[in-house]
Amino acid sequence: MSILMREILVSVFVFASVIAVGASVLVSRRQKRKIVETRLKEIEVAKTDEAISPEKLGILQFLQKVGNVVSHGHPSTNLYEQLIRAGYLGTTAPAIYTGIKMLLFVIGLAGTAILVVPAEVFFTTKITLIFLGGTVLFFIPNFVVMMQLSKRHEEIRRHLPEAIDLLEICVSSGIGLDMAWNMVADEILQVSPILANAMALTNFEIHLGVSRAEAMRHMAERTAVDELSSLAALITQTERFGTSIADTLRIFATSMREERSSTMEESAEKLAVKLIIPMVLFIFPAMLITAVGPALISLAKVMFNG
């Protein structure tokens, strides 16, 4: 090979290397800019909502003050974690939640008192009913948070196998795990916004310098979904031992589908037992009346006429 040919090949390799490095830098900047733009849009939407509904903002501030007074400005860590898992990520969510509970308690006391005081019952009975009404309304936010938490868990578990399949396809095609994670979060946004937002927040933590294993562990803690904890542990072990991430994701998605199928089969088998009570209380009496009723009527006519 001549010297001229070597110089040409070296120049081509250098040019290709510069193009590859520049493209990677541009792609990385574009992803970071996209994340920043998304956060700015969220801030703009929040500001717009505040500008449109100042009454709502005033109510929230009032509830926050009430909650801070009740909790002395230091809400419990368990409450904060529970609200995060239910999708309420704001730092003021515990105070507002506590304020809502206290407001409902006062409303329950006042409303029950208006209904009970005029009644002619014992004084102790009136006090008991008043506090009972306040207590019922006091625990309504607990049920709302529990329902929201159950809804989020169900949606994440339902769409996680599909997200892992997409992630495995992207990784198998040669895309890096971080880039594949971001692409899957964008693709699954229309199907499952809850899972997409959780993945986007994890990707945002990774861009801020948090390790992938720690960011995924944080996602599992925020959602309280056992499958995500298992996924974080598997990816961490895969990176530590150098095994194939694509194979790990494929096996994990398959195991999740099998577990979901077995859970559905178990629920279907339990359904027959659960149907016994409504059948005994509602269906069997109607069938008995329909089958035996005419015979009893005829027998009664014969006995009374005879």
- Mean pLDDT calculated for residue range 10-23: 64
- What is the CB neighbour count within 10 angstroms for residue 256? 18
Q: Measured in whole angstroms, how far is the alpha carbon of residue 253 from the centre of its chain?
A: 19
Task: Give the rounded percent of residues in the chain with a pLDDT score beyond 90.
Answer: 1
Q: Residue 148: helix, strand or coil by DSSP?
A: helix
The per-residue pLDDT for range 115-143, each reduced to its tens digit, is: 887 777 787 888 888 888 888 888 998 89
Looking at the chain, list the stretches that DSSP marks H as alpha helix, in order from N- to C-terminal side. Answer: 3-52, 54-71, 77-85, 93-116, 123-138, 140-172, 177-187, 193-207, 212-223, 226-241, 245-274, 276-278, 284-305
Is the pLDDT reported for residue 33 higher than 70? no
Residue 22 has a pLDDT of: 64
Other Cβ atoms less than 10 A from the Cβ of 260: the count is 15
Q: What is the mean pLDDT of the segment spanning 279-290?
A: 83
Measure the CA–CA gap between 56 and 69, rounded to whole angstroms: 20
pLDDT of residue 48: 42
Tens of pLDDT, residue by residue over 219-260, are 888 888 888 888 888 888 887 887 788 888 888 888 888 887
Q: Binning pLDDT at 50, 70 and 90, where does residue 53 land? A: low
Q: Using CB atoms within 10 Å of the CB of residue 29, give its burial: 0 to 12 exposed, 13 to 18 middle, 19+ buried.
A: exposed
* pLDDT of residue 41 exceeding 60: no
Per-residue pLDDT of 54-99, as tens digits, reads 667 778 788 888 888 877 777 777 888 888 888 887 778 888 888 8
Question: pLDDT confidence of 44, banded at 50, 70, 90?
Answer: very low
pTM: 0.64
Q: Which residue, among 157, 144, 163, 138, has the nearest Cα to 86 in the 3D structure?
A: 144
Band (pLDDT 50/70/90 cuts) for residue 32 is: low
pLDDT at position 11: 64
Query: Both tokens of residue 215?
Result: 């960011």
